[in-house]
Amino acid sequence: MRLTSLSLLLVIMTLGGYSSSLFAQTGYIQSKLAPVFDKPSFAGKKIASLNRGQQVEIVAREKSWVNIRFEQQSGWVAKMLLDNHAPLASTQVEPGKTENTPTKARKRASVRASAAATRGFSSEFRQRSKEPRSANYRDLEKLEQLKIEDTEVREFNQSLSN
């Protein structure tokens, strides 16, 4: 009697084991462009291109591909481009500011500073600071000033397949 009930319990659990999880999973596209293929391979046909922040339903996973459902369609997208939370907003920092704003190199900064001292890192640091420890902000700003429109980049990428 006990064995029968135990086996019945196991049958139920086995069936439960093969069913999909209780709650459906949502994913968010992280990249500006996310090509979706009809099978989990780059050899597949590209059936759609999703945009950043788009919410999709995760159906299955296979190696580095995820089977998703979106807008009544389904396909495979690279795992790398999907995450379970919305992507961060575009982040920028005003250039032209020399740095001494406090950053936390976690709470262990003081430990690291002293540890580095005992390891002799700071002696090396001291040595290198004998040469001018220079920073080239002028070139940095020049580099940052180059702006290219998103549309131009997309066109450039598109013309690859031509």
Partner 1 sequence: MNSTRACRTSIRRKRYSLALIIALTSAWVNAWATNTDHFRLRAHQLSIQRYNQEDVKTEIRFGREVSARILAALPLFESERLTRYINLVGKSLVLHSNRSEIEFHFAIVDSDSVAAYSAPGGFVFITRGMLHTLHNEAELAAVLAHEIAHVNLRHIVRELDIKSVEKEEFSGLTRFLGASGDTTRVAFNQAVDKAYQVLFKNGYKKGQELEADAQAVTLLALTGYNPNALATLLQRLAKNQDQHNISGTTHPRFARRTKELDLILQSFQQTSALNQAQQRFLQYTSGDKP
Partner 2 sequence: MNLRRLLTLYLFLIGFGANADENHYDEILIGDRAAGMAGAYAAIADDTAGLYYNPAGIVYAVDSNISGSMNAFNIATKSYKDVVGPGRDWNRVSSELLPNFFGIIQDFGGGKAGFSYAVVDSTQENQDDVFQNAQLPSGSVDEYVINFNNQDKTIHIGPAYAKRINDRLSIGTSLFLHYRQQERITHIFTDSAATTPNLDSTEYASTTEFGLRPGVGIMFTPREKLSFGFKIAKSFLLSSDYVYQKSGPDSTSGVDYNFRQAAEKKDKREYPWVIRSSAAYFFDKRFIVAGALNYFSATSDSQLGDRNAVVNLSAGAEYYLRDNLALRGGVYTNNATTPKLSANKLGQYEHIDYIGVTASVTRFSRSNALTFGLQYAAGSGKAQLFAEPILQSVDASVFNVFMSASYSY
Q: 104-133: which residues touch partner 1 (CB under 8 A)?
A: 104-110, 112-113, 116, 121-122, 125, 128, 133
Query: Is 4 a residue that touches partner 1 (CB under 8 A)?
Result: yes
The 10 Å Cβ neighbour count of residue 74 is 17
Q: Which does 11 bind (CB under 5 to 8 A by kind): partner 1, partner 2, none?
A: partner 1
- Shortest distance, CB of residue 79 to partner 2, whole angstroms? 17
Query: What is the torsional sign of CA 99, 102, 107, 108?
Result: positive
Among 5, 19, 20, 21, binds partner 2 (CB under 8 A): 21
Contact 31, 56 (CB under 8 A): no
Q: Which does 23 bind (CB under 5 to 8 A by kind): partner 2, partner 1, none?
A: partner 2
- Shortest distance, CB of residue 137 to partner 1, whole angstroms? 5
Restricted to residues 131-160, the positions that interact with partner 1 (CB under 8 A) are 133-137, 139-140, 142-144, 146, 148, 152-154, 156-157, 160
- Which amino acid, 155? E
Contact 25, 57 (CB under 8 A): yes
- Which amino acid, 104? K
Report the C-alpha gap between 64 and 54 in whole angstroms: 19
Residue with the two structure tokens 């996310």: 34
Query: Is 20 a residue that touches partner 2 (CB under 8 A)?
Result: no
Tokens of 29: 């596209």
| # binding residues, partner 1 (CB under 8 A) | 77
Q: Which does 22 bind (CB under 5 to 8 A by kind): partner 2, partner 1, none?
A: partner 2
| # binding residues, partner 2 (CB under 8 A) | 6
Contact 78, 64 (CB under 8 A): yes
